[in-house]
Structure 1
Amino acid sequence: MSTTWADLARYIHEEYEVISEQDDEIRILFGFEQHDEDDERTQVVIIVREVLDTQHEWVQIASPVGLAASVDLRALLTEIGHSSIACGAAIMGEHVVLRHSLPIKDLDIHEFVDPLSLLAGTADQIEEMFFGGDEY
């Protein structure tokens, strides 16, 4: 059975806190298990349907970590190279984002959930380490 964007969007709505949605974009607030009641950390994650060569559907998972102008990009990229297996970094607009992309066709839900969790966790750590907070 082939997976579609509609299937994935339905799953996202059932499992995550959707904070906004447009045509091919869903923003969620990814929550982490609390180790301390006073430290409720979350991460904004943007899930976007992309079409490659006008025929192949992909899903891009991205999370902003901070403003590109206010960080040592070499140090940030070095850290991501050492600590991440499920995402790369890019500058989109004014922000550094961590992102990962997957083809939608025949997508098993674990092929989406595991990278989403890893990306959100890495983005939260990078944001804390390089930007000193939990703004995104």
Structure 2
Amino acid sequence: MHSTWADLAAYVREEYEVIEEREDEIRLEFRFEKYDEEDERSQIVVLLREVLDNKHEWVQIASPVGLAASVDLAALLREVGHGSIACGAAIMGDHVVLRHSLPLRDLDVHEFDDPLALLAGTADQIEEMFFGGDGY
């Protein structure tokens, strides 16, 4: 199966809560299952269309966890390095983000759900651990 950005965007609009959309970017609010009435956590996730070598479409999944200036980056990178299998950390603008990329060429859009959920869950844990809350 050969998926395109348009295929993925249509799937995301149908399955997730899109909060903003631009030509090559979709922002969504990933909601976690509630454990109790008090526990309503969610995570902002940004999907970006990337084109490699002017011909290969990829989707980058990124989630902000906090401001880079207000965290021990070495400790955060160690935690991501030891505790995550599906994402790496980067600084984008002023924010630390966790991100993962997938080639769209061979992606069945349903195979997108697990990496998205894993990244969002990891970002939520890192955000709680290093920034003490659920700001994103």
TM-superposed CA distance for 1:109, in Å, is 2.7
Separation of aligned partners in 2, 1:110 and 1:41: 23
Q: Which residue of 2 aligns with 1:113?
A: 113
Separation of aligned partners in 2, 1:72 and 1:105: 37
Letter in 1 for 2:84: S
Q: Which residue of 1 aligns with 2:39?
A: 39
Q: Which residue of 1 aligns with 2:91?
A: 91
If the length of structure 2 is used for normalisation, what is the TM-score? 0.97
Separation of aligned partners in 1, 2:88 and 2:10: 26
Moved more, 107-116 or 36-45: 107-116
Letter in 1 for 2:93: G
Separation of aligned partners in 1, 2:51 and 2:109: 19
CA contact (8 A) 2:45 2:64 kept: yes
Letter in 2 for 1:43: Q
Percent identity between the two aligned chains: 76
CA contact (8 A) 2:2 2:108 kept: no
CA contact (8 A) 2:7 2:109 kept: no
CA contact (8 A) 2:3 2:109 kept: no
What's the RMSD between the two structures over aligned residues? 0.8
CA contact (8 A) 2:26 2:47 kept: yes
Separation of aligned partners in 2, 1:109 and 1:21: 18
Separation of aligned partners in 1, 2:67 and 2:121: 18
1:2-42 CA-partner distances (Å, limit 9, x unpaired): 11111100000010000000001000000001012112000
CA contact (8 A) 2:16 2:30 kept: yes
1:18-70 CA-partner distances (Å, limit 9, x unpaired): 00000010000000010121120000000010011111100000000000000
Separation of aligned partners in 1, 2:58 and 2:82: 26
1:14-93 to 2 correspondences below 5 Å: 14-93=14-93
Q: Secondary structure at the match of 2:75?
A: helix
TM-superposed CA distance for 1:106, in Å, is 1.9
Separation of aligned partners in 2, 1:111 and 1:96: 26
Q: Which residue of 2 aligns with 1:104?
A: 104
If the length of structure 1 is used for normalisation, what is the TM-score? 0.97
